[in-house]
């Protein structure tokens, strides 16, 4: 306990240094490792997590019991509950025991898939050991307090001393795997009499007396090496020592018995695989760069890890396959609904993943208990009888009301999530459509530019018909290509087809009415076509936009001369020279 207090004092000093200095070492938090797998950013949290995993593979799962702040919170809640006369006992939720593994693979391994697919490599892109935004990746005060309430108090009360560790913690999953490789673990001497004191004091839900009886060591990956069992043993029969890792410990079984066992477990494996795939499908839905099509690969990886590192602890009184399906369905529905939901209406912060997992496990438990109350004559939760002799008790009715209210919340959240998902899909589809249109437009413009340049070369060579055809092709690809339209108009005028030329000049002005050069060119074409009134109007429009436009002034000066207005001609030429 003193060591855990010291850890929290160190955390407080880290936060105080950031508050005082404005920048500090990046958080020593395992979740910071996501930056490494997703973006290749090496930070202090990634190094810390890597060292913790490595040390666990050597010395066992001591980190959780000696340095985890959530374990400290759970232990504190357990202590308070015991002071109130409530001793939480572990609850077996079957398939939901795989949730920590699923979340670990999702958080830390799934982000590698986009990098692999895009050929970005898995190396370190850059290092980032100092930060000014220390609190950017942490929840706000209300959400943090709610997380501590759910992950600490409620999950301990209803699921046992390490409820959050057993059913939601992603870090515990990798520590449990690494623990099975560790040669250092709690072992037993021949002085053990199987009294059971060790199991009675274990807060990690490990049946210590059975473990040391069957395996001569604690091989359950849930053991957090807090050493309470060692200290309480009246015969000093338990000790920490070197030996065979847990993963190598196997009971001798005939081949026939082993094969029969595999056949018997096949339905369970199918159910497990289905749950894993469904869990990843829910977690990956709408997650930006992580796509649902990877659910099968991640489920296969998780199933392989679960089979390679199964642990050894035997749990009795677990759910039936039908109850497993109910538990899994309720859990996945709640995760889908509550993750990212605006649970507190007075703030915009959404429910983070770990809080959603905790709430989803509690919701699954409530639904599971209600299903049992409908079909069994005896149902209990911790110290309370929910159904006694076929009759629902007051505690059972309370659980039913809580489950009903919880179901309403999940349904409301699911409706909001579906609505937001539709809006996001519509926006995403609109963005993709705009992007596709922009790509098509860019390609058309590039092709139009090629046709335009071909037309310019033809015009320079005196091949006016070829030039006109090339400019027509450019306009067919990009109708707003002003230079192509003006050159096409010029080609038609040069070929004596003034009506077509003038119509294209007018079309160009309809699209770009503030272009003085186009007005001047229109005036020149009208003058060549002997429509002097239209020519004068076009030139006047040009100098209204650009008073010193030389071409328009020269055209108006010629018109003045033809009318015998020498003063007007001089005025226009003087303006043009200015």
Mean pLDDT (whole number) for 469-494: 91
367: left (phi over 0), alpha (psi -120 to 50) or beta: alpha
- The rounded radius of gyration (Å) of the Cα atoms in the chain is 38
At residue 262, the pLDDT reads 55
Mean pLDDT (whole number) for 145-153: 91
Give the DSSP H or E segment for 173.
helix 170-179
Over 80: is that where the pLDDT of 481 sits? yes
Of 195, 178, 158, 176, the C-alpha closest to 359 is 158
pLDDT band at 236; cut points 50, 70, 90: very high
∠ CA 131-133-138, rounded to 5°: 120
Do residues 33 and 163 both lie within one domain? yes
In a domain, 449, yes or no: no
**Model confidence, pTM:** 0.78
Among 361, 392, 423, the domain boundary falls at 392
At residue 60, the pLDDT reads 92
In a domain, 299, yes or no: yes
Residue 574's CATH number: 1.25.40.10
Mean pLDDT, rounded, of the chain: 89
pLDDT band at 258; cut points 50, 70, 90: very low
Share of the chain above pLDDT 90, in %: 56
Mean pLDDT (whole number) for 108-128: 86
Among 350, 373, 392, the domain boundary falls at 392
At residue 251, the pLDDT reads 46
* Burial of 15: CB neighbours in 10 Å, binned 0-12, 13-18, 19+: middle
Do residues 327 and 227 both lie within one domain? no
At residue 315, the pLDDT reads 56
Q: What is d(CA 578, CA 573) in angstroms, rounded to the nearest whole number?
A: 9
Mean pLDDT (whole number) for 472-488: 90
Tally of domains within the chain: 3
Centre a 10 Å sphere on the Cβ of residue 512 and count the other Cβ atoms it contains.
14
Over 60: is that where the pLDDT of 497 sits? yes
Mean pLDDT (whole number) for 296-319: 80
Among 202, 219, 246, the domain boundary falls at 246
Do residues 13 and 66 both lie within one domain? yes
């Amino acid at each position: 306990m003193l060591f855990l207090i010291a850890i929290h004092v160190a955390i407080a000093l880290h936060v105080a240094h950031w508050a005082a200095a404005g920048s500090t070492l990046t958080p020593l938090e395992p979740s910071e490792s996501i930056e490494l797998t997703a973006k290749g950013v090496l930070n202090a949290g990634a190094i810390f997590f890597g060292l913790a995993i490595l040390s666990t593979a050597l010395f066992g799962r001591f980190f959780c019991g000696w340095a985890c702040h959530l374990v400290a919170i759970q232990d504190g809640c357990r202590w308070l509950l015991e002071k109130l006369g409530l001793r939480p006992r572990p609850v077996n939720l079957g398939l939901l025991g795989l949730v920590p593994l699923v979340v670990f693979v999702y958080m830390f391994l799934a982000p590698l898939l986009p990098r692999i697919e895009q050929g970005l490599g898995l190396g370190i892109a850059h290092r980032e050991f100092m930060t000014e935004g220390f609190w950017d990746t942490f929840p706000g005060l209300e959400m943090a307090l709610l997380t501590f309430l759910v992950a600490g108090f409620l999950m301990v009360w209803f699921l046992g001393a390490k409820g959050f560790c057993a059913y939601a913690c992603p870090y515990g999953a990798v520590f449990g795997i690494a623990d099975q490789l560790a040669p250092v673990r709690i072992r037993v001497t021949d002085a053990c009499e199987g009294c059971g004191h060790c199991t009675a004091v274990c807060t990690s839900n490990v049946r210590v007396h059975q473990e040391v009886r069957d395996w001569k060591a604690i091989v359950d990956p849930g053991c957090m090496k807090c050493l309470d069992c060692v200290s309480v043993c009246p015969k000093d029969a338990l000790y920490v020592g070197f030996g065979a890792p847990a993963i190598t410990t196997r009971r001798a079984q005939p081949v026939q018995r082993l094969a029969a066992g595999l056949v018997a477990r096949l339905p369970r494996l199918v159910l497990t695989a289905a749950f894993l795939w469904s869990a990843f499908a829910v977690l990956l839905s709408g997650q930006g760069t992580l796509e649902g099509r990877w659910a099968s690969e991640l489920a296969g990886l998780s199933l392989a890890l679960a089979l390679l590192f199964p642990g050894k602890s035997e749990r009795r009184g677990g759910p039936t396959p039908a109850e497993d399906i109910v538990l899994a369905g309720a859990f996945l529905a709640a995760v889908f609904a509550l993750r990212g939901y605006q649970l507190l209406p007075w703030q915009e912060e959404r429910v983070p993943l770990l809080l959603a997992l905790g709430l989803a496990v509690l919701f699954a438990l409530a639904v599971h208990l209600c299903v049992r109350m409908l079909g069994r004559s005896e149902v209990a939760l911790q110290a309370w009888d929910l159904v006694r002799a076929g009759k629902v008790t007051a505690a059972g009715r309370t659980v039913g009301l809580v489950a009903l209210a919880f179901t309403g919340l999940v349904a409301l959240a699911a409706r909001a999530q579906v609505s937001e998902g539709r809006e996001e899909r519509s926006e995403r589809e609109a963005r993709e459509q705009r992007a596709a249109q922009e790509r098509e437009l860019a390609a058309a413009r590039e092709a139009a530019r090629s046709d335009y340049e071909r037309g310019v070369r033809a015009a320079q060579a005196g091949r006016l018909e070829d030039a006109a055809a090339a400019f027509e092709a450019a306009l067919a690809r990009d109708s707003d290509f002003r230079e192509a339209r003006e050159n096409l108009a010029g080609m038609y005028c040069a070929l004596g087809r003034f009506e077509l030329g003038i119509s294209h000049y007018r079309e160009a002005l309809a699209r770009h009415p503030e272009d003085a050069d186009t007005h001047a060119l229109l005036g020149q074409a009208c003058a060549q076509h002997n429509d002097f009134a239209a020519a004068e109007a076009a030139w006047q429009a040009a100098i209204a936009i650009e008073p010193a436009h030389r071409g328009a002034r020269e055209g108006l000066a010629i018109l003045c001369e033809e009318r015998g207005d020498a003063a007007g001609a001089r005025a226009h030429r003087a303006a043009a020279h200015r």
